[in-house]
Amino acid sequence: MSISLRIAWRYLFAKKRHNAINIISGISTAGVCVTSAALVCVLSVMNGFGSLVEQMFSAFDAELRIVPKAGKTFQTDTGDFARVKELPFVEVFGETIEETALVDFSQKQLPVQLKGVDDNFQQLTDIDSIITDGYFSVCDYYDDGINRTRSFERCVLGRGLAAQLGANAHFVSGLKIYAPKRTGKINLLRPDKSLNRTGAFIAGVFSVNQTKYDDNVMIVSLPLARELFEYGEHEVSAVELKLTEGTPVRAAKREISEILGGSYRVLDRYEQQEDFFHIFKVERALTILLLVFILLIACFNVIGSLSMLMIDKQADARILHNLGATLDEIRHIFLYEGWLISLLGAVIGIVLGVLLCLLQQELGLIKLGDGTNYVISAYPVQVQVLDLLLVFGIVLLLGFLAAWYPSKQINKTL
C-alpha cells in the first residue's frame, strides 16, 4: 500500500478538527450509498418485469420463427426446408398461417388475427399452460379404425377477444369466420360473394396477459386457414421451430440462416417481440441515466467534503511537502480520499440493495396495488451480477471525477 493511500485511509476514519467535515463526509458516503442501493433495486425490478414478460411470451411464441424477407408467404416443399426439418437439434417443426379475418358471433363482428396451426402446436409451445377456460384443440377427428378424418373444426380465443364477443368454451353455437377472396372481382350488388366463409366451435380460451395476443388472436387449424385464405398445400406465412433441450439458440439460428440463405429471417423470441423489448431497453437506459444524474448530485458532496478536508489538513500537507513528499503524492492523498468515500458508499449501497431485493423476492414486501388485478401480487426482482458490476463501475468513475477536481487545486493551498 502506497503512503498516499495509507494517509487517505487514516483521514477517512480519523476525527477532524472541525466536526462539520465529519458530518459532510458522512453525508457524502450516505448519498452514494442510498443512490447505489436505489440503482441496484430499480435495475433488479426491471429485470424481474422483463423476465416475467419473457415467460409470458414464451408460452405462445416458438423458440425460432422463420419468415420471408419479402412478401407474406413462401413454400415449404423445398430441399432447404427439408434439410432444416432433419437437423438434429430441431425437435418440432411447425407450419403456420397468419392473416386478418372477420369473426361473427351472436350478432357481434370483430376483426381478428387468425393463426392457423398444425397438430403439433401443443408440442411447439406451452399453450396448455395459459389456457384459462376449456382446453386446447383446433379440430376433432373421427377414427373408424381404418381412416382418421376431420369432423369438427374448433378454435381457441384470446381472453380479451372472447370477452368482446361474449363467448366462452362452453357455448354450443360456433363462430362464423369471413375473409376476402384472393382472386376475382368484387360484385358491388352482392359484396358477400367476395368473401370466403367458414366456421368453428370454441374449444378454449387462453391468456398471455398481453393485449397484443389476448384481444386479437384466434387460433384455428392449418387446413381451415388454408381453405379460408386460399393458400396452396405447402404455402405458409411462417415456420416455427422448437429446439432440443440445451441447444444454443444463437448457434441454431446461425446454422438455419446459412441453410436458407438471404431470402428468410430467422427470429428468436426477442426478435419476435422486437418493438416491446426495444422500448423496454430504452426505458431501462433512461432510468439508469436518471439515477446516475442523482448520483452525480450526491458526488458534489464529495467535492465539498474534500475541499473542507484540504483546508483542515493544510498544515499536514505543508509538513509532508517539507519532508520531501512530491506535489503529486499529496494530490493522490486527497484523490484516494474521495475515491474511498465513493468506494465505501458503493459497497454498502450494493450490499444493502441486494439484501432489499432478496427480502422482496422472498417476502414480497412491496405489493402491486391491491394485488388482485395483476398477474403477480408483488414487484418481481431479479438480481444480476452484471448490474452490480455496472453500478460499482459507475460509482467509482463518478467518485474519481468528483475527487480529481479538488485534488488538482492542492498546489494553491501550499
Query: Which residues in 134-152 are b (16+ Cβ under 10 Å) and which e?
Result: bebbbbeeeeeeeeeeeee
- In the predicted model, is pLDDT for residue 350 greater than 90? yes
Confidence label for 269 from pLDDT (cuts 50, 70 and 90): confident
- State the Cα–Cα distance between residues 168 and 144, nearest whole angstrom: 30
Per-residue pLDDT at 348: 92
Q: Is the pLDDT of residue 170 over 80?
A: no
Weakest mean pLDDT among 119-128, 340-349, 395-404: 395-404
Q: Are residues 82 and 146 in the same domain?
A: yes
Residues 155 and 128 in one domain: yes
Residue type, 93: F
Q: Are residues 308 and 341 in the same domain?
A: yes
Residue 74 and residue 26 share a domain: no
Mean residue pLDDT across the chain: 83
First to last CA, the chain: 25
- Give how many domains the chain has, as a whole number: 2
Provide the domain limits for residue 92.
62-272
The whole-number average pLDDT for the span 230-249 is 90
- What would you report as the CA-atom Rg of the chain, rounded to the nearest whole angstrom? 32
Q: 223, 254, 272 — which closes off a domain? A: 272
- Residue 103: CB partners within 8 Å, gap ≥ 6? 109, 110, 111, 112, 161, 165, 175, 176, 177, 178, 218
Residues 206 and 281 in one domain: no
Q: Answer whether residue 372 shows pLDDT above 60.
A: no
Q: Tell me: do 311 and 266 sit in the same domain.
A: no
* Whole-number pLDDT of residue 365: 80
The reported pLDDT for the residue numbered 412 is 55
299 and 382, same domain (yes or no)? yes
**99 lies in the same domain as 243:** yes
Determine the pLDDT at residue 178.
92
- What lies within 8 Å, CB to CB, of 223 at 6+ separation is 116, 139, 150
Query: Using 50, 70 and 90 to split pLDDT, how confident is the model at 1?
Result: low
Cell numbers at 68, concatenated? 420471408
Pair 11, 27 in one domain: yes
Are residues 297 and 378 located together in one domain of the fold?
A: yes
Looking at the structure, do residues 264 and 287 belong to the same domain, yes or no?
A: no
Q: Please report where in the chains the cell 416458438 appears, as a residue.
A: 62
pLDDT, tens only, 21-64: 667 777 778 888 888 999 999 999 989 888 888 877 888 888 99
In this structure, are 296 and 402 located in the same domain? yes
Read off the pLDDT of residues 314-336 as tens digits, 9 standing for 90 and up: 676 677 666 666 766 777 777 77
Q: What is the pLDDT of residue 26?
A: 76
257, 131 Cβ separation under 8 angstroms:
no
Confidence check: pLDDT of 18 > 60: no
Query: Which residues lie closer than 8 Å to 27 by C-beta, 6 or more apart?
Result: 301, 305
Which of the residue ranges 98-102, 145-149, 289-293, 330-334 has the most confident prediction, judged by mean pLDDT? 98-102
Q: Which of 246, 272, 298 is the last residue of a domain?
A: 272
Look up residue 189 and give its amino acid: L
User: Domain end: 238, 272, 306, which one?
Assistant: 272
In the chain, pLDDT over 90 holds for what percent of residues? 32
Q: Write down the pTM of the prediction.
A: 0.74
Q: Does residue 165 carry a pLDDT above 70?
A: yes
